[in-house]
A and B are shown apart, each in its own frame.
Chain A
Amino acid sequence: MTEQQLPADKGKTDNELAVSALSGNERDFREIISRYRPRILSICLRMLKNSTEATEAAQDTFVKIYFHLRDYDPEKDFSSWAASIAINECRDRLRKRSRFSQTFRDLTDRDVDLTQTQADTDYESKRRVQLVEKAIEQLPEKLKEVLVLKAYSEYSYEEIAEILKIKTGTVMSRLFRAREKLTEILEKENLI
Chain B
Amino acid sequence: LTGCDKIEALLWEKAYGTISEEDNELLRQHLADCADCRKIQSTIEALGVSRRADEEFISGIGADEFESSVMRKIRARESELRFKRDDKGYMVRMYFSVGLAAAIVAFIVISMGDLERFVIPTKPAAYNRVNAPKQYYDTFHIELQPGRTEEPPEPAGRVSMERGEESREKAEPSAIQPSQEESGAELEESDVAKLFEKEQKAEVPEPAPRLLTIIPKEKAEPEAVEKKKAEVIKPDMHFDFRSANEQQPGALTARRMKGISEVTSDLDVGQFQILNQPVTNPAPDSVEINSIYLIDESIPFASQQTRAYLPQVRVDSGSVQSVETPRSVLVTVEKMPIPVKIIPPEYPVWARKNGISGTVWVKAHVNDDGDVVEAEIESSSNPGYGFEEASLEAAKQCKYLPAEANGFKIGVWVIYPVNFVFNAEDIK
**Docked CA distance A67–B70 (Å):** 12
Which residues A128-152 have CB closer than 8 A to chain B? 128-129, 131-133, 136, 147, 150-152
Question: Is there an interface contact between B63 and A37, defined as CB atoms closer than 8 Å?
Answer: yes
**Docked CA distance A45–B59 (Å):** 13
B419 interface residue (CB < 8 Å to A): no
Question: Is there an interface contact between B46 and A59, defined as CB atoms closer than 8 Å?
Answer: no
CB distance from B190 to the nearest CB of A (A): 95
From known contacts A46-B54, A132-B49, A179-B8, infer whether A30 and B40 are also in contact, taking CB-CB under 8 Å. Answer: no
CB distance from A188 to the nearest CB of B (A): 12
Of A75-83, A92-100, A110-118, the one touching chain B:
A110-118
From known contacts A128-B49, A150-B12, A192-B43, infer whether A55 and B57 are also in contact, taking CB-CB under 8 Å. Answer: no
Chain A residues, CB < 8 A from B67 = 30, 33-34, 37
B105 interface residue (CB < 8 Å to A): no
**Docked CA distance A46–B47 (Å):** 11
Which residues B23-66 have CB closer than 8 A to chain A? 39-40, 42-44, 46-51, 53-61, 63, 66
Question: Is there an interface contact between A30 and B71, defined as CB atoms closer than 8 Å?
Answer: yes
A20 interface residue (CB < 8 Å to B): no
A23 interface residue (CB < 8 Å to B): no
By beta carbon, the residue of chain B nearest A63 is: B73
Question: Is there an interface contact between B71 and A37, defined as CB atoms closer than 8 Å?
Answer: no
Question: Is there an interface contact between B58 and A66, defined as CB atoms closer than 8 Å?
Answer: no
CB distance from A120 to the nearest CB of B (A): 10
From known contacts A38-B58, A58-B66, A113-B57, infer whether A191 and B46 are also in contact, taking CB-CB under 8 Å. Answer: yes
Question: Is there an interface contact between A45 and B57, defined as CB atoms closer than 8 Å?
Answer: yes
**Docked CA distance A131–B46 (Å):** 9
CB distance from B65 to the nearest CB of A (A): 10
Which residues A37-64 have CB closer than 8 A to chain B? 37-38, 41-42, 45-46, 51, 55, 58-60, 62-63
Question: Is there an interface contact between A129 and B53, defined as CB atoms closer than 8 Å?
Answer: yes
A186 interface residue (CB < 8 Å to B): yes
**Docked CA distance A41–B59 (Å):** 10
CB distance from A124 to the nearest CB of B (A): 10
From known contacts A113-B57, A118-B56, A125-B49, infer whether A55 and B66 are also in contact, taking CB-CB under 8 Å. Answer: yes
CB distance from A163 to the nearest CB of B (A): 17
**Docked CA distance A187–B51 (Å):** 19
Q: How many A-B residue pairs have CB under 8 A?
A: 101
Question: Is there an interface contact between B55 and A38, defined as CB atoms closer than 8 Å?
Answer: yes
Binary contact track B158-191/A, C-beta < 8 Å → 1, others 0: 0000000000000000000000000000000000
From known contacts A30-B67, A114-B53, A179-B44, infer whether A45 and B73 are also in contact, taking CB-CB under 8 Å. Answer: no
B69 interface residue (CB < 8 Å to A): yes
The interface size bin for chain A is 35 or more
Question: Is there an interface contact between A118 and B70, defined as CB atoms closer than 8 Å?
Answer: no
B74 interface residue (CB < 8 Å to A): yes
B118 interface residue (CB < 8 Å to A): no
A182 interface residue (CB < 8 Å to B): yes
Binary contact track B56-100/A, C-beta < 8 Å → 1, others 0: 111111010011011101100100000000000000000000000
Question: Is there an interface contact between B44 and A186, defined as CB atoms closer than 8 Å?
Answer: no
**Docked CA distance A118–B60 (Å):** 11
A16 interface residue (CB < 8 Å to B): no
A183 interface residue (CB < 8 Å to B): yes
From known contacts A46-B54, A60-B73, A129-B53, infer whether A183 and B43 are also in contact, taking CB-CB under 8 Å. Answer: yes
- Our pick among A41, A58, A150, A183 for the contact of B40 (Cβ within 8 Å) is A183
Chain B residues, CB < 8 A from A55 = 61, 66
CB distance from A50 to the nearest CB of B (A): 12
Question: Is there an interface contact between A67 and B43, defined as CB atoms closer than 8 Å?
Answer: no
By beta carbon, the residue of chain B nearest A150 is: B12
Question: Is there an interface contact between B39 and A187, defined as CB atoms closer than 8 Å?
Answer: yes
**Docked CA distance A7–B387 (Å):** 108
CB distance from B55 to the nearest CB of A (A): 7
Question: Is there an interface contact between B61 and A179, defined as CB atoms closer than 8 Å?
Answer: no
Chain B residues, CB < 8 A from A58 = 66
From known contacts A63-B77, A129-B50, A151-B51, infer whether A51 and B57 are also in contact, taking CB-CB under 8 Å. Answer: yes
A154 interface residue (CB < 8 Å to B): yes
CB distance from B297 to the nearest CB of A (A): 81
Question: Is there an interface contact between A117 and B43, defined as CB atoms closer than 8 Å?
Answer: no
Given A114-B57, A132-B49, A183-B43, 18 extra CB contacts under 8 A: A33-B70, A37-B58, A42-B51, A42-B55, A45-B54, A45-B57, A55-B66, A59-B69, A117-B53, A129-B50, A132-B46, A147-B47, A179-B44, A182-B47, A183-B40, A186-B46, A191-B42, A192-B42
Some 12 contacts from A to B, beta carbons below 8 A apart, are A37-B58, A38-B59, A41-B58, A42-B51, A51-B57, A59-B70, A132-B47, A132-B49, A179-B44, A183-B39, A183-B40, A192-B43
